[in-house]
Amino acid sequence: MKKLQFALSLVLLTCVVESLAQSQSVQPAPTNALTLQQYRLPPIPESQQTDAQKKAAAEFVTMRKTPLIGPFISLLRSPELMLRAAAVGDYLRFRDALPPKLNEFAILIVSREWTQNFEWTFHYPIAIKAGLDPEIVKALAEGRRPAKMSEEEEIVYEFSTELQRNKCVSDATYSRAVAKLGEQGMMDLVGVNGYFTLMAMTLNTARTPALENGAPVLAPLPH
């Protein structure tokens, strides 16, 4: 009987959360109890890690100077994939040809397209610190095309949105991106979209909880 009551309580709580999601575009982070229960791929205790996983985790810490976090916790199930993904991300986050503000803008676009809340809450403060206008971020969170973007921001928005939604980029958008960002910048923008799509897919599959850092949490967009 108690199990039945608990199950019914969870169903009711889920209905409330979904109802709020439909009525708001940005909402508070869900409770830890709900998100942690949904977390499919939580951290693997070191005592339960394979030798390959222990080695990969140690290499990650050496590479990033930080413990495993977010998607890398889940990716540790495939140690070599995790390390190779981390190496690509290391380039795209810290050494690519895009200015930090544009780089973070592209990441937030991907996060919005995939409604990926760990990725969004992690990169939201970084994007603001890099100089991205909070009004642009607010519009993006609400599923609106941001107003008053710079030319470079508009290019990143159009290019990334077309790539995410249409699975291709028009000639006009491609030409603008190459003219303004150069071929390397354009290619790195493709890389940011692809890499953070992989991260979003991993996080959504794992149901990784959002960070509770004060950043607004995304609600699902209407289909």
Query: To the nearest whole percent, how much of the chain has pLDDT over 90?
Result: 81
* 159, part of any domain: yes
Q: Which residue range forms the structural domain that includes residue 139?
A: 97-213
What would the pLDDT profile of 2-20 be if each residue is shown by its tens digit? 333 333 333 333 333 333 3
Q: Which CATH number belongs to the domain containing residue 141 in this structure?
A: 1.20.1290.10
Final residue belonging to a domain, choices 95, 116, 141: 95
Assess whether 111 and 176 both reside in one domain. yes
What would the pLDDT profile of 49-89 be if each residue is shown by its tens digit? 999 999 999 999 999 999 999 999 999 999 999 999 999 99
Final residue belonging to a domain, choices 50, 74, 95: 95
Strands 217-218 and 26-27: antiparallel
Assess whether 44 and 73 both reside in one domain. yes
What would the pLDDT profile of 168-223 be if each residue is shown by its tens digit? 999 999 999 999 999 999 999 999 999 999 999 999 999 999 999 999 999 998 87
Assess whether 71 and 101 both reside in one domain. no
Q: Would the pTM of this model clear 0.85, i.e. be above it?
A: no
Total domains present in the chain: 2
